[in-house]
Amino acid sequence: MRSDKIKRGLERAGNRALIYATGITQGDLSKPFIGICTSFTDLIPGHIGMRRLERFIERGVAAGGGVPFIFGVPGICDGIAMGHTGMKYSLPSRELIADMIETIIRAHSLDGLVCLTNCDKITPGMAMAIARLNIPSIVVTAGPMMSGRYKNKRLSLVRDTFEAVGRFKKGEITQNELNCLEQEACPGAGSCQGLYTANSMACIVEAMGMSLPGSATALAVSAKKERLAYESGQTAVNLVRRNILPRSIMREEAVMNAVIIDMALGGSSNTVLHLKAIAHELGLELPLYEFDRVSRQTPHIVNLRPGGDYFMEDLDAAGGIPAVMKRLKDVLNDVDTVTGKRISKIARESVIYDDDVIRDFSRPYHKEGGMAILYGNLAPQGAVVKQSAVDKKVLKFKGLARVFESEESAMSAILSSKIHKGDVIVIRYEGPRGGPGMREMLSPTSSVVGMGLSDEVALVTDGRFSGGTKGPCIGHISPEAAIGGPIAIVQNGDTISIDIPRRKLELKISEKAIKERLSKWRPRKPSIDSGYLKRYAEVVSQASDGAIFTK
């Protein structure tokens, strides 16, 4: 066993003394040492229920014949960090999490790993670490939140709080109604109720075969989730005994399964960044255009919020990701999973309980998948849009640029009613380097929706969007403004053309004018010039490469 490095041999007497100090017995030295990496924190609703899940994982590890060791990594709640400087730290935390797990596992020579995770950057950070370490591992996602309730209507975070800000400014709801929505939209533990980034990543990890079937959708407060946690602990020990390594599961075919299922679900656009980062850790190529190729071939068959009206609880009741696999069985690659079953067997054994939540190919919600990759003189290296959340009336959009140098300045203009029909809001210097940290723009996009402008204005940025964003919102524009990408030289009043069906994003000025403006462009002084974000900006790649470290 890998842990023999710290517990076998005369020269390890001191090591063993310290291990005994943790309370284990002499007999435990012959058992696999299993790390339980938890992102429990009181700060994140998606993680506050993890203490109980940790207990069930521990029980499972012990029942399987292993010795459990819990250690922690930090987490950021994107919703709480949204709209201010805190969001600059969200994407960069992904790299910190991967590095911390690598450090603990290798320093203590653990035999196996259970990752207990849930929210936006934590799940991909853990998946990156698993890919890098390549020791027997399994992922337990802590589960979605139940829908809220107000006036007998189901509520979700984005539609009923972030978008409610615009509705309040427009005079559609009162202060009392806004207060009630704030208190009722999020009724307890779990990741936000729609197919936002946290739940998108949970589905992707299960699609890659690294979680037990049903793990992605089982609600955070359910006994079903606790049973899955227990079984995952047992499975981790079994993986160690059989020496089943992540790279034998997370093969190129499994990564492509994740892309296929992501497109069928209409997941968050952030999954592009995270899947590319995971693929990089696996030593695999995952070009940006592959997402678009798969999207053109994969119908959108599950329509959860923000684009649709269903919730994660509905997808779970309909059969979860195994039922989605059943729909997609003819296009998925038949690969192994941590269960020992192949994808084909999981799909064959699953049941689809609701034909509207998980539609068949004859009547998809959209003929193409959830995302589209756009190119053009404004985004030579690509940009990303969640096309399943764009009304068909604005799949093509042409308007005049309203340029803002930060998210805050754009938000101020939106709430001051200074944005009008036909405007294309341009938010720049929010990319991986320029932000630094590539902030999400949920506050501006939600306010636009809440004020009734979602089909009348567009938004383009070198930053990114929450999985809760809807409308013609184009993110991940590469190259970003901070390194002299064309978005840096857009001027107020320029015409911008968006054509999602043709995958085009164009600044309607001449090539000569673009070259002249770029020749006069000079880099801006970094907005943050100290600490971790300074170091992050110096080594992070462009969004088109997954915002990974280049050094």
Residue 448 CB neighbours (<10 A): 29
Give the span between the Cα atoms of 180 and 150, in whole angstroms: 8
Contact 91, 16 (CB under 8 A): no
- Cα–Cα distance list, 539 to 41, 132, 145, 437, 515 (Å): 29, 19, 36, 11, 27
Give the span between the Cα atoms of 386 and 472, in whole angstroms: 8
Name the burial class of residue 387, with classes exposed (0-12), middle (13-18) and buried (19+) by CB atoms within 10 angstroms of its CB. Answer: buried
DSSP structure class, residue 155? E
Tokens of 34: 């299993």
- The catalytic residue among 3, 211, 268, 466 is 466
Tokens of 279: 């693929």
Q: Which residue has the tokens 């899940």?
A: 53
Give the span between the Cα atoms of 104 and 110, in whole angstroms: 9
DSSP structure class, residue 502? T
Is 40 strand, coil or helix? coil
Q: Between β-strands 473-478 and 458-461, what pairing exists: parallel, antiparallel or unpaired?
A: parallel
Tokens of 422: 């036909």
Give the span between the Cα atoms of 112 and 428, in whole angstroms: 43
Burial 319-335 (b: 16+ CB within 10 A, else e): bbbbbbbbbbeebbeeb
Q: Between β-strands 67-72 and 137-141, what pairing exists: parallel, antiparallel or unpaired?
A: unpaired
Give the span between the Cα atoms of 391 and 396, in whole angstroms: 10
Nearest to 268 by CA among 351, 358, 201: 201
443 is catalytic: no
Contact 416, 447 (CB under 8 A): no
Helix or strand holding residue 154 (H, E): strand 153-155
Q: Taken in order 155, 161, 164, 166, is the CA torsion positive or negative?
A: negative
Tokens of 431: 């990319």
Give the span between the Cα atoms of 310 and 300, in whole angstroms: 14
Contact 191, 17 (CB under 8 A): no
Please, what is the end-to-end C-alpha distance for the chain in angstroms? 32
Give the span between the Cα atoms of 443 and 137, in whole angstroms: 36
State the catalytic residues.
466
